[in-house]
Amino acid sequence: MASTTSIRGGGSADAVYKKSWARRMGPTGIIMEITKYVLLIGLAFSFMLPFYWMASSALKNDDQVYTYPPVWFPNPRLWNNFGEAWTIKNFNQMTFNTVVRYAIPATFGTLLSSTLVAYGFARVNWKGRDALFAVVLATMMIPFQVRLVPLFIIFKNLGWLNSYKPLVVPAFFASPFFIFLLRQFFKTIPIELSDAAKIDGASELDILFRIILPLSKPALTVVALFSLLGCWNDYLGPLIYANKEPDWTLALGVNGLANTLYESGMKTMVYPYLMAVSTIITIPVLIAFFFAQRSFIEGIALTGLKG
Amino acid sequence: MTAWIYRPTRLSRQEFRNQVTGILFVMPWILGFLTWTIIPLLSSMYYSFTRYDLLRPPVFIGIQNYTNFLTDDDFMTAARNTIWWVLLSTPSGVISAFLMAALLNTKIKGRSGFRAIFFFPSIIPSIVTATVFAYLLNIQYGAVDSVLRLLGLHAIPFLSNPDWAKPTLLLINMWAQGGAMVIFLATLQDVPRELLEAATVDGANTLQKFWSITIPMCSPVILFNMLMAFISGFQNFDLPWLLTQGGPNKATEFISLFLYRNAFLYLQMGKASALAWVLFIVIVIFTVALFRSSARWVYYRTE
């Protein structure tokens, strides 16, 4: 048994420790370690494969798409495909639709309403609070299909079809998932802070805005991220309410591009252009994920652990 | 609660103020609940007893919508596909998420990198998943089948053969279990180390420890993820719609697609509403069954 302090023949303690690692693990231990990493790397590889295929295919031309064996490293690399594919349909307009008309207003509404409602459920003591919260959670189990048709009819009667109002306005009424997330977080803030403020004469709103919110930046970031991501990825919502091409989101646009290319019958550059556009709309998700990895993952873990 | 026995007849001034404040804060949700949930639920119930094509006023037809389903082949196909999907995607998704989390929970270098790789597929837009896999699994030009051919095997008609379509969707679903995996990872780190150490001292091997300690300790979260998988399984729309359009040969025609078609393509709002209620009731039945069974295998640490 080598100890970390013994030094033999002038070698460093660290080196001796590492050398004995293999000896301490024993043959079965080493096999387990190797299997572990083989599994991990193999899985990681196959998980990333679709993304690599997407990005590399974006650079292909038709010859490289319809060849066998498959081309893994396109040569020449057609970087122009990205620009060309982007202009086939009005993707700039679609980006505007997705971000300015949908994601940002909806996220604003979500943050506003979810904060208020979560505060009411977390930091104010009132009769029936917990029972009503159970109802909030129960509504999460209602399948969207049950509300789909009547909501459509309501929005039709309001004249809100072919606009983003049906998607943005409900965000101002707080959705259960975000209420739950923020409530869990608000409950972790020590009650003494609220009590001290109340002694000083603060109202609940004061407490919310001056004490709770500044402490809640991580949770609010999670809510904002999830909301933005949800809007970016949303397909069915815009499909129903933003169906005309000028109103399309990017998700609808990519699908529309696919249909256009297939129907054109020419079959040229279908896959490269589709892959190019798909890559472009995945990049913001990748960037957001890199910058906010911890927020993302902690946010999801938060819902699962206390759920 | 002793309050049930002795109850003040009036709220104190502070309690009354709290009551009003609480309800005011929660008002946005209450209003939303009434407008976007209660009213639609009730009208949906009403429409399900009518024939309504949006152009003419709804016509009351009693339970015809419901009885028609019994003789509707398309409905039966959609129902069968949906049940198949829910019963298979829930365990396969949850198990793969749990195993990935367990693998990540061991002593490895670069855990956050691997975790990121396994998590990322779950947050990309569904249209991207659909277009990429449409190409990747294409029987002629896709990478997967080309590799299979290179290895001397038969190319698999992932998306063009009715028998392969649903299993293919199942595999893609397992690829996108990052969310559940992350929840499991957090739970796994909560398993009491003393129990595992005590077991090691008693001579338990890794598998025994996993099966008898880790899994029971995680069972509440396993139940939670199963419930979530269930509910989203019944609502599965994006990928079958975008990738296979319900085909080939209606192999991937799930209830949600069937409903969408009836509502927005055939303009049969009444039929669609009835469909939604059938789905709702089935979900409730399945959920109750799941919870009933949970008493037998879920271990809550507080008991």
ipTM: 0.87
- Nearest chain B residue to A145 by CA: give it: B276
**Record: contact A204-B21, CB cut-off 8 A:** yes
- Please report how the helices A250-263 and A80-88 are oriented relative to each other, as an axis angle in degrees rounded to 10: 90
Main-chain dihedrals φ then ψ at residue B26, nearest 5 degrees: -85, -5
Contacts of A129 in chain B (CB under 8 A): 22
Q: Is the pLDDT at B132 greater than 70, yes or no?
A: yes
Using alpha carbons, select from A260, A235, A294 the residue that is nearest to residue A87.
Answer: A260
- Nearest chain A residue to B232 by CA: give it: A143
Contacts of B177 in chain A (CB under 8 A): none
- Which of A149-153, B77-81, B86-90, B292-296 has the least mean pLDDT? B292-296
| Same domain, residue pair A10 and A108 | no
Q: Is the pLDDT at B126 greater than 50, yes or no?
A: yes
Give me the mean pLDDT over the B165-186 stretch. 93
Sorting pLDDT into bands at 50, 70 and 90, what band is A266?
low
Peptide bond into B192 cis (omega under 30): no
Instruction: Please tell me the distance in Å from B80's CA to the nearest CA on chain A.
Output: 18
Contacts of B10 in chain A (CB under 8 A): none
**Record: contact B231-A146, CB cut-off 8 A:** no
A39: Cα within 13 Å, side-chain hemisphere? 14
Convert A107-139 to b/e letters by CB count within 10 Å (16 or more is b): bebbbebbbbbbbbbbbbebeebeebbeebeeb
B210 inside 8 A of chain A by CB: no
**Record: contact A229-B36, CB cut-off 8 A:** no
| Same domain, residue pair A23 and A117 | no
- Please report how the helices B162-175 and B73-104 are oriented relative to each other, as an axis angle in degrees rounded to 10: 40
The answer to whether the beta carbons of residues B236 and B256 sit under 8 Å apart is yes
The verdict on residue A179 lying in a domain is: yes
| Same domain, residue pair A100 and A38 | no
Is the domain covering B67-297 a CATH 1.10.3720.10 domain?
Answer: yes
Sorting pLDDT into bands at 50, 70 and 90, what band is A15?
low
Q: Which two tokens stand for residue B231?
A: 């509910």
- Reduced to 3 states (helix: H, G, I; strand: E, B; else coil), residue B258 is helix
Nearest residue, CB atoms, B182 vs list A69, A151, A297: A297
- Nearest chain B residue to A307 by CA: give it: B224
Query: What number of other Cβ atoms are within 10 A of residue B195's Cβ?
Result: 15
| Same domain, residue pair A294 and A239 | yes
CA distances to A92, A281, B129 from A58, in Å: 19, 13, 15
Question: 166-185 in B: which are within 8 Å (CB) of A?
Answer: 175, 179-180, 182-185
| Same domain, residue pair A174 and A235 | yes
Q: Is the pLDDT at A6 greater than 60, yes or no?
A: no
- Nearest chain A residue to B256 by CA: give it: A145
Q: Write down the pLDDT at residue B5.
A: 61
Give me the mean pLDDT over the B39-47 stretch. 94
Beta-carbon contacts of B173 under 8 Å, excluding residues fewer than 6 positions away, are: B89, B92, B93, B239
| Same domain, residue pair A139 and A287 | yes
Q: Write down the pLDDT at residue A2.
A: 45
More confident residue, A241 or A72: A241
Task: Tell the residue number behind the tokens 């000028």, with chain if given.
Answer: A246
Sorting pLDDT into bands at 50, 70 and 90, what band is B2?
low
| Same domain, residue pair A38 and A105 | no
| Same domain, residue pair A132 and A280 | yes
Sorting pLDDT into bands at 50, 70 and 90, what band is A64?
confident
Q: Is the pLDDT at A107 greater than 50, yes or no?
A: yes
Instruction: Please tell me the distance in Å from A11's CA to the nearest CA on chain B.
Output: 25
Averaged pLDDT of chain B:
90
- Which of A53-57, A97-101, A240-244, B295-299 has the least mean pLDDT? B295-299
| Same domain, residue pair A9 and A147 | no
Sorting pLDDT into bands at 50, 70 and 90, what band is A267?
low
Contacts of A89 in chain B (CB under 8 A): none
- Which of A3-7, B72-76, B144-148, B240-244 has the least mean pLDDT? A3-7
**Record: contact B114-A150, CB cut-off 8 A:** no
Instruction: Please tell me the distance in Å from B129's CA to the nearest CA on chain A.
Output: 9
Q: Write down the pLDDT at residue A94.
A: 94
The verdict on residue A68 lying in a domain is: no
| Same domain, residue pair A139 and A251 | yes
Q: Is the pLDDT at B1 greater than 60, yes or no?
A: no
> A109 is in which domain, residue-wise?
81-305
Q: Is the pLDDT at A27 greater than 80, yes or no?
A: no
State the Cα torsion B245-B247-B253-B259 to the nearest 10°: 40
Q: Write down the pLDDT at residue A62.
A: 79
Q: Is the pLDDT at B301 greater than 90, yes or no?
A: no
Main-chain dihedrals φ then ψ at residue A295, nearest 5 degrees: -60, -50
Q: Write down the pLDDT at residue A134.
A: 94
Residues in chain B: 303
Q: Write down the pLDDT at residue A96.
A: 94
- Which of A19-33, A44-58, A166-180, B270-284 has the least mean pLDDT? A19-33
C-alpha span between A194 and A104 (Å, rounded): 31
Positive or negative CA dihedral for B118, B120, B125, B127? Answer: negative
Contacts of A124 in chain B (CB under 8 A): 18, 21-22, 25
The neighbouring-strand residues paired with B60 are: B50
- Which of A267-276, B68-77, B85-94, B102-111 has the least mean pLDDT? A267-276
Q: How many domains does chain A have?
A: 2
Q: Is the pLDDT at A211 greater than 90, yes or no?
A: no
Give me the mean pLDDT over the B52-75 stretch. 91
| Same domain, residue pair A141 and A34 | no
The pLDDT > 90 percentage for chain B reads 67
**Record: contact A47-B118, CB cut-off 8 A:** yes
Q: Write down the pLDDT at residue B227.
A: 92
Give the domain CATH number at A197: 1.10.3720.10
**Record: contact B125-A251, CB cut-off 8 A:** yes
Q: Write down the pLDDT at residue A3.
A: 45
Contacts of B141 in chain A (CB under 8 A): 65-66, 70, 271
Question: 104-143 in B: which are within 8 Å (CB) of A?
Answer: 106, 108, 112, 114-121, 123-128, 130-133, 135-136, 140-143
For residue A185, give the amino acid letter.
Answer: F
Which class for A3: exposed (0-12), middle (13-18), buried (19 or more C-beta within 10 A)? Answer: exposed
Contacts 24+ apart (CB under 8 A), A165-168: A166/A237, A166/A240, A166/A241, A167/A102, A167/A106, A167/A231, A167/A234, A167/A237, A167/A238, A167/A241, A167/A242, A168/A101, A168/A102, A168/A105, A168/A106, A168/A109
C-alpha span between B101 and A259 (Å, rounded): 38
Task: Tell the residue number behind the tokens 């070698």, with chain if given.
Answer: A11
B35 inside 8 A of chain A by CB: yes
Nearest residue, CB atoms, B32 vs list A135, A170, A254: A170
Instruction: Please tell me the distance in Å from A7's CA to the nearest CA on chain B.
Output: 27
- Nearest chain B residue to A72 by CA: give it: B143
Q: Is the pLDDT at A1 greater than 50, yes or no?
A: no
Q: What is the pLDDT of residues A147-162, one digit of tens each?
A: 999 999 999 999 999 9
Residue B243: DSSP 8-state: I
Where along chain B do its domains lie? 10-60, 67-297
| Same domain, residue pair A31 and A95 | no
Q: Is the pLDDT at B289 greater than 60, yes or no?
A: yes
Main-chain dihedrals φ then ψ at residue B247, nearest 5 degrees: -100, -160
More confident residue, A63 or A193: A193
